[in-house]
Structure 1
Amino acid sequence: MKFTISQLAKVGLLATAAFLYDNFKSLFSILKAKLELYFRPQLPQSLTDKFGKWAVITGGSDGIGKGYAKELARRGINVVIISHMKEELIATAKEIENLYGTEAKWIVADFSKGKEVYQHIKHELRDIPVGILVNNVGCASYPDELGNRSEDFLWSIINVNVGAVTVMSRLIIPQMKKHGKGAIVNIASGFELMPTPLMAVYGATKRYVRSLSLAMERELSEYNITVQCVTPVLVVTKIVQFSDFLSQSYFFGTSVEAYTRSLVLTLGKTQETTGYWTHAIIYFIGKLTPEWLRIRIIHAIARYIKKGYMKNRIEKKSYRQINIQSYSVFFALIIDIQYLYIKRIIKYP
């Protein structure tokens, strides 16, 4: 059977429509959720009605995790925040209770330790009917080659970025099935879009989170359990202070408050989201770029960030290890690629 020009055009049109839908659905869901606040102020169900009165947020003492916990509390949901930083947990829990009048519990757990922490978490959550689980905790470090990483660091990043999202989901799913409702939010990263030289393990773990999330969504939909994968681009928090460049990404970056407020609006409305409208546009532009070029650009940017980090270390600036939710500089610079040429960061052979 021979294809005519007309038939090929129809196939091309369908392929284009499918591509646009797949890549713009996040933006549409975000805009729809925002517009509903004005055109449908009295929505039929609150988050508590839809999912339950309690939420668990890993990595909830800082950054996106803290912002998400506060946003849920603002909507009347009690929260349990989990982190390895006890003082920050206590302060965050008190802040939430004082601001919103909801209950805020905390659990100290270092996910980098692996299997040993989950029995303690399970015990602490035994009497709490968890309706929302936010798998937010993440771990990374400054860019460097895989061969230069210590084994301890590699196990830490695998335990935190892969182990936590997997085991915490397994821990909570049975009770969600029993209650016949629930939501699991898995925070991935824009880094899942391509292999990331000098951040190889981090990027691979975030790709894992996306794959796991989409599979879980299919498995759990029949039990009325929502699974959402979140792929932020750049959220500006104090944890990116190791890089002056990242810290100053004011145009492309988003504040935690603005980001989490937008992100929570999408809960229960889409299985994948970037969380914020500018992130959706940047993500779309990134996907239009050939993968070989994405890899080349992110490698050059990672080298640039590593150079800045090492310079800061030489100048004896103090930086703690990065415990992050998600960030990506690739998307910011791919749009402003002229800046890269001017600074001669990218050099083609």
Structure 2
Amino acid sequence: MTAADSFSPLDREIGQSFSYCLQALALVGAFYTASKFISLLSDFYHLLRLYFIPRLFGRADLVKQYGQWAVVTGSTDGVGKAYAEELARHGVNIILASRNKKKLEAVAKHIAETYKVETDIIVADFSKGRGIYSAMKEALRGKEIGILVNNVGVFYDYPDYFNNVPEDLLWDVFNVNIAAATMMVHIVLPRMVERKKGAIVNVSSGSCCQPTPLMTVYSAYLDHFSRALHYEYASKGIFIQSLIPFYISTNMTKFSTKLSKKNWLVPSAEEYAHNAVSTLGLSRRTTGYWGHFFLVTWLI
């Protein structure tokens, strides 16, 4: 009598069922492993495509692709200034819009002399709300605006509970972070649609990827606004990009010594802009920086 003969038919049936379960689990495990591997390969491909291949082979002529002029809001410091310089490096004429005339003139002069492009300035305090946009529209009349970079923004002095945020700051966030981008798009988009080309870059935040306590209002709106515009206007030749960076070493991160210290996860404004411009026309929703790519891969 063998060991197998000592098992009853029920025991053998249970054993066979268990064997089938193990095989099914092995198949599920293999499928999961394969899907994760394919996902990693896809992420690696996108990383190369956005941040490294353009450096090796150069990128398309931005003037030919979009137009002669770019408008960059919030462009006297930080990411806005660096982004304007990076566009100028590619031969795009630059219109700087911010509230400090002296700083605007200094940045415009530096860009014109360094990159041999035309520059112009628009003095605009975006915190003032609706009243500034008639003058803004007039100032842009007659210029071929190929690229709009909505970068102007304000941040909490430090992360805090919504109830503790001063009312004046909330209005500034509405007017500067939300209304400014909305109205600037409304001003430049019609001519882009007529010409069937143009690019709109809305600088949002990595905090938009999920609910972000202590930065409740700051993290709202721009990302979804950009994505909705994409569905409306991509077929009309307009490239619309949502930039969702994490921390960058600028005045906005000065509340933290750790976050204002540059490293591979916290780039300088110049390094960030260099990476971000390389994604223009390639990705409609991106962190704009290779280091931040790793932080947000599983969130977007």
Q: TM-score range by the shorter chain?
A: 0.7 to 0.9
- Is there any run of 5+ residues in structure 2 with no aligned partner, and where? 1-22
* Number of equivalences: 277
Query: What's the counterpart of residue 241 of structure 1?
Result: 254
Q: Deviation of residue 28 (structure 1)?
A: 4.1
Query: What's the counterpart of residue 51 of structure 1?
Result: 66
Aligned-partner SS, 2:202? strand
* Structure index of larger Rg: 2
The residue identity in structure 2 corresponding to 1:143 is P
Residues 111 and 117, structure 1, Cα contact 8 Å, conserved in 2 = yes
Residues of 2 paired with 1:168 and 1:18: CA distance? 40
Query: What's the counterpart of residue 189 of structure 1?
Result: 205
The residue identity in structure 1 corresponding to 2:216 is A
Query: What's the counterpart of residue 176 of structure 1?
Result: 192
Aligned-partner SS, 2:121? strand
- Matching of residue 148 in structure 1 with residue 164 in structure 2: yes
Q: 1:87 to 1:163 in 2, by over 3 A?
A: same
Give the alignment's TM-score, normalised by structure 2: 0.84
- Matching of residue 91 in structure 1 with residue 106 in structure 2: yes
Q: Deviation of residue 243 (structure 1)?
A: 2.5
The residue identity in structure 2 corresponding to 1:193 is C
The residue identity in structure 2 corresponding to 1:179 is R
Query: What's the counterpart of residue 280 of structure 2?
Result: 267
Q: Deviation of residue 251 (structure 1)?
A: 4.3
Q: Deviation of residue 176 (structure 1)?
A: 0.1
The residue identity in structure 2 corresponding to 1:169 is V
Residues of 2 paired with 1:138 and 1:25: CA distance? 32
Equivalent residue for 1:257, pick from 237, 247, 270: 270
Query: What's the counterpart of residue 27 of structure 1?
Result: 47
Q: 1:14 to 1:228 in 2, by over 3 A?
A: farther
Q: Deviation of residue 25 (structure 1)?
A: 7.0
Residues 67 and 257, structure 1, Cα contact 8 Å, conserved in 2 = yes
Query: What's the counterpart of residue 223 of structure 1?
Result: 236
Residues of 1 paired with 2:29 and 2:102: CA distance? 62
Residues 24 and 284, structure 1, Cα contact 8 Å, conserved in 2 = no
Residues of 2 paired with 1:228 and 1:18: CA distance? 26
Aligned-partner SS, 1:79? strand
Q: Deviation of residue 196 (structure 1)?
A: 2.1
The residue identity in structure 2 corresponding to 1:37 is R
The residue identity in structure 2 corresponding to 1:201 is V
Residues 26 and 280, structure 1, Cα contact 8 Å, conserved in 2 = no
Equivalent residue for 1:212, pick from 205, 225, 231: 225
Equivalent residue for 2:55, pick from 29, 32, 37: 37
Equivalent residue for 2:83, pick from 54, 68, 74: 68
**1:277-320 deviations in whole A, cap 9, x for unaligned?**
111012226x39xxxxxxxxxxxxxxxxxxxxxxxxxxxxxxxx
Residues 27 and 281, structure 1, Cα contact 8 Å, conserved in 2 = no
Query: What's the counterpart of residue 312 of structure 1?
Result: none
Give the alignment's TM-score, normalised by structure 1: 0.73
